[in-house]
Structure formats: C-alpha cells, structure tokens
C-alpha cells in the first residue's frame, strides 16, 4: 500500500463558521476523520505547516511547501496538499516550476464548501486526490471536481460553482469517474532528473491594460526588474502608452505581454500594434497563464 503525505494548509475545505465568517480550523488529521474509505486507498501521514485562507498564503509559505515535499522525497510515494481554492492556481504553478521533473505525484486540492457540510465537494476531492496519487501520476497537478489539471495550466474560473477550475490551453490530464476510477489522458512521466529549482526573482509586477490607463503608472514600474502587461486579445501596446513603455524597457525593465483572454495565446506578429510592441523589445508570453508566467519569472526561467 502506498504511503502518501497529506499536507494541510487551511482553505474552505478546513473551514468552520467562526462568528466572523468562515475561517480554517480543521487539521489534516481531522479532515481524514471524514474519509474512512481512505484506508482502502493508501496509508496517509499528515503534516500541518500552517492553516490559513489561501488569500493569505505568501511566496515564502509556497516555498516552504516545495521544500517540505523535496526533503521528504524518499520517505513517501506521493503528496496531497489540501489548500484554499482562491489562490490554488498560483501554488500549483509555482510548485510545478520548483519541483522540476518531479517523478512522484504532488496533488493539490481544495473544496468550495467545508468538509462535512451537506453537499460539500470536500470528501470527493480529497478521495480523488489520493486515488490519483496512487495510480502512477507524476508531477504537480490539481485534482478538483473529477478533473486532473497539470500544475502549469490550472486556473480558477468561478468563485462559487463546484466546477470552478479549468485546464487552460491544455487538455485535461485526466478524469476521475464517480465510481473512483482514474483515467489519465497523458503519459505521466516527464523525464529528466528531479531538480529543486529555488526562487530567484521577486522583483516583478502584473498590470492589466485598461482603457485610459494613466501612463504615469507605467513610469512608476521602473523600480521592478520585470513587468507583465496583461494586454488585449492577441497582444499589443496601445499607441498612447508606447512612449512610456519604450522608456520603461530602455531603463532596463523587461516587459512581457500576456492576454486578458482566458484561452488562446499572444501573437505579436498578427497586428501592427503587436509588431510595434515587439520592435520596442516587449516579449510575448505565448500561451502561458498569468499564474504560470509569474512562477516562471520567480524560478528564473524567463
Ligand atoms: N477563501 C478560501 C481560500 O482560498 C476559498 C476556498 O478555499 O475555496 O482559502
């Protein structure tokens, strides 16, 4: 029977009403009490590094999770992280890049409703996560609502619905049937030696381009090494912002362009606005999600 480490970090899945709104209170051990069937799937060990609403999770806590997994590589067959859903996509992307070529399962899950509440998705998501961790999946993935989503493609698209996550710009990595059978769609092995990639860059900012954006905001961004501009459609820089963006690039800040569209990719060759942006030195982020782009910058890949 496989040995899986459950890392409980809080989130709705662990929440109880506090009198001042939902707040995480259940430990990993307490979450498992709701899942007696788990004994048939695997042997679970528990760690509770912190218990917070994922709104409050910092990069250093995300790094702590990556370290915990890396340092326990030999001890367990896989890892399941119970996490708040709101910022789960950022954690999934960062772990995906920090645990390069990881050849054991790292599954991140959460729930839209607290464990034990009638109609909650917590029980199913947890059981499914342990199931996926036991069938030979390797690398970082989110498991929610019967879907397996590779770590660098996870996006939360709904604030309340049970089916709140999508695999953006990539097919689902797998599904879990109602009877618990896991169907993986892609070969699980990534190849290459597992490697811990540490965070090397924290001087970045993301700015969404909106109509009439004050150009002086872009001047202010010179203090950052890297700026991601969330542009429109296939990408480009509005003519009224060209001068300030050009100055920003000449000052040494690297400028990347992503798209506000949820799906599809940046194509700076298609339109004149895109070509002008490229000519001044802006770099396309292609089909990356913003979460993935941030993690790539943090890990020094771009
Ligand atoms: N606010 C919660 C969190 O992200 C929402 C959830 O877990 O679904 O921690």
The question of whether 12 is a catalytic residue gets the answer yes
Q: Mean pLDDT throughout 250-278?
A: 98
Give me the catalytic one of 9, 12, 27, 289: 12
Residue 44 has pLDDT above 80, yes or no: yes
pLDDT of 186 reads 76
Give me the mean pLDDT over the 196-216 stretch.
97
84 lines ligand 1 (CB under 6 A): yes
pLDDT of residue 181: 98
Domains, the chain, in order of start with CATH, read 3-196 (3.40.50.1170), 204-298 (3.40.50.40)
Please indicate whether residue 188 or residue 27 has the higher confidence score (pLDDT): 27
The two three-digit tokens of residue 49, written as one number: 């590094």
Q: Which residue has the higher pLDDT, 242 or 191?
A: 242
pLDDT at 258 over 90: yes
Question: 127-159: per-residue pLDDT in tens?
Answer: 999 999 999 899 999 999 999 999 999 999 999
Residues 164-169 have a mean pLDDT of 98
Instruction: State whether the beta carbon of 114 lies less than 6 angstroms from ligand 1.
Output: no
Provide the pLDDT confidence category of residue 192 given band limits of 50, 70 and 90. confident
Mutation test residue for ligand 1: of 10, 54, 144, the one with most atoms within 8 Å of CB: 54
Q: How far apart are CA 115 and CA 96, in angstroms?
A: 26
Is the predicted pLDDT of residue 302 greater than 60, yes or no? yes
Distance of CA 100 to the CA centre of its chain: 15
Ligand 1 atom closest to the Cα of residue 110 is 7
Mean pLDDT, rounded, of the chain? 97
Which tokens go with 176?
């879990």
Backbone angles phi, psi at 236, to 5 degrees: 160, 170
Q: How far is CA 25 from CA 4, 6, 40, 46, 143, in A?
A: 22, 16, 26, 15, 22
As a whole-number percent, the residues of the chain with pLDDT over 70 amount to: 98
* CB of 284 sitting under 6 A from ligand 1: no
Contact 105, 204 (CB under 8 A): no
State the maximum Cα–Cα separation within the chain, in Å, rounded to a whole number. 63
pLDDT band at 62 (very low <50, low <70, confident <90, very high): very high
pLDDT at 116: 98
pLDDT(78) > 60 = yes
């Amino acid at each position: 029977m496989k040995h899986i480490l459950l890392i409980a970090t809080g989130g709705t899945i662990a929440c109880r009403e506090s009198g001042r709104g939902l707040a995480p209170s259940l430990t990993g051990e307490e979450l498992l009490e709701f899942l007696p069937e788990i004994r048939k799937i695997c042997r679970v060990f528990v760690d509770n590094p912190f218990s917070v609403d994922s709104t409050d999770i910092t990069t250093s806590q995300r790094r702590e999770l990556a370290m915990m997994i890396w340092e326990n590589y030999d001890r367990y067959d896989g890892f399941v992280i119970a996490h708040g859903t709101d910022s789960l996509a950022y954690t999934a992307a960062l772990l995906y890049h920090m645990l390069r070529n990881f050849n054991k399962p790292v599954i991140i899950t959460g729930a839209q409703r607290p464990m034990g509440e009638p109609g909650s998705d917590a029980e199913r998501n947890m059981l499914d996560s342990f199931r996926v961790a036991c069938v030979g999946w390797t690398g970082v993935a989110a498991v929610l609502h019967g879907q397996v989503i590779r770590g660098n493609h996870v996006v939360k698209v709904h604030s309340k619905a049970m089916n709140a996550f999508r695999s953006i710009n990539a097919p689902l990595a797998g599904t879990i049937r109602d009877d618990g059978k896991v169907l993986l769609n892609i070969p699980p092995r990534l190849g290459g030696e597992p490697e811990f990639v540490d965070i090397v860059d924290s001087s970045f900012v993301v700015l969404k381009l909106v109509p009439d954006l004050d150009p002086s905001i872009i001047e202010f961004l010179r203090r950052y090494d890297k700026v991601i501009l969330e542009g429109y459609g296939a990408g480009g820089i509005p003519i009224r912002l060209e001068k300030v963006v050009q100055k920003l690039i000449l000052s040494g800040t690297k400028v990347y362009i992503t798209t506000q569209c949820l799906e599809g990719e940046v194509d700076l060759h298609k339109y004149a606005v895109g070509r002008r942006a490229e000519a001044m030195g802006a770099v396309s982020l292609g089909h990356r999600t913003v979460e993935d782009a941030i993690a790539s910058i943090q890990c020094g890949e771009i």
